[in-house]
Homo-oligomer: A and B are copies of this chain.
Amino acid sequence: MDETIRKRQRRKDERPGEIMSAALQEFALNGFAGAKLTQVARRAGISHGTIYNYFDTKEALFRALFRAHFVEPLGDEQMVDAFGDAPFADILRAILRVAFRQAAHSEAVVLMRILLLEWQRFPDLAEECYRELFGKAEAMLRQLIDYGIARGELAPSRIDDSPLVLLAPGINAALFGPLSGLPDWEERAEIAIDAFAESFVRGLRKP
């Protein structure tokens, strides 16, 4: 009996996650208004009525989705440490590449994309997600720049106060790339991001 209870319990515990996972896809594809709960249910392999055993309304499901995802960060703040004492430029390039890949695929970023359209309907969510996502990212980049300065590679500059601009090309590419219809947009993006990192460190000016 312990066995059966555990099995059932496991099911009950997993359901919300399964539903939210299915909902994420549906919302991402169709936005809030366009998402159909029947379709969410179908994706989750359950009946639509079951959704209501776990979420009171469509909006509650939507909010739960965000609440659940905005604890795990875009990238871990410790990411910089992982690179040992590599040159700044190498670390920057590596981080931008990873960030781009995450931005292109992570669930948190999919949710941000949804918010780009729905934020006027959910201003509280928008704000919270914005802070969570960009706050983490900014801290990480600041740490990286400090590392570069400490290592004697970088000169202090006004960028120190707006480190997020370093991520902009990656985020942008992740957002708009799919719209291009090009099959190789991800590779192109990575090349551009590499070039960006390199040039940004060296400067565009003629030496």
* Chain A interfacial positions (CB closer than 8 Å to B): 29-34, 112-121, 123, 126-127, 129-131, 134, 148, 152-155, 157-159, 161-162, 164-165, 167-169, 171-173, 175-176, 178-181, 191-196, 198-207
Contacts and interface: CB of A to CB of B under 8 A. Distances in A.
A116 B116 contact: yes
B123 A196 contact: no
A162 B196 contact: yes
Contacts of A173: 168
Contacts of A167: 172
One complex includes copies of this chain to the number of: 4
Contacts of A32: 31, 34
Contacts of A164: 169, 172, 192
B119 A117 contact: no
A34 B164 CA distance: 32
A14 to B, nearest CB: 22
Given A126-B181, A180-B127, A200 B204 contact: yes
A195 to B, nearest CB: 4
Given A165-B196, A168-B171, A202 B115 contact: no
A168 B167 CA distance: 9
B165 A205 contact: no
A119 B205 contact: no
Contact of A165 (B113, B159, B195, B203): B195
